[in-house]
Amino acid sequence: MKNLVAFFFLILAAAAWGLGPSSIGMERELTEGLFFPVSDYGPEWITADRNNDGKIDYAMLLNDRGERIFEAIDFNHDGYMDDFYIYRNDVLIRREIDQSFNRSIDLWVYIHEGVYVAGYERDTSGDGKIDMYRAYGQQ
């Protein structure tokens, strides 16, 4: 719960400071507080149990204007979120994915205008550090 409050604060601070999607490093730091256990998603989240196993596997957070700011999915139903969607003004700006299901993000995908892949970063060695980076589009 503390993480969520911190996350909210960072989002608000980022909005106040006018950070744009171009500052990729800064964007990524904003969600370092994201949390994996599905049981940590409290009443402020809109949640769903898509496979009816009694455990949340989808969670969405709206801001006070009713815009999506965050979604999390437990794709493999192991009780830990592994696919995170980060929005700004209801537009998808980034996905963070734990492809190896070890509760450490290993793929960050940066989205331009909600649909175009602007670039990605990967942790291919599993140590939590980015070791591959690619940017597309305008140079």
CB of 110 closer than 8 Å to CB of 24: yes
- For residue 59, how many other CB atoms are within 10 A of its CB? 21
Distance of closest approach, residue 33 Cβ to Ca ion, in angstroms:
18
Q: Which stretch binds Ca ion (CB under 5 A): 18-26, 72-80, 115-123, 129-137?
A: 72-80
Among 8, 78, 117, 119, the residue binding Ca ion under the rule CB under 5 A is 78
Q: Does 82 bind Ca ion (CB under 5 A)?
A: yes
Q: Looking only at residues 23 through 62 of this chain, which bind Ca ion when binding is defined by CB under 5 A?
A: 49, 51, 53, 55, 57
CB of 38 closer than 8 Å to CB of 51: no
Q: Does 124 bind Ca ion (CB under 5 A)?
A: no
Which residues of the chain form contacts with Ca ion (CB under 5 A)? 49, 51, 53, 55, 57, 74, 76, 78, 80, 82
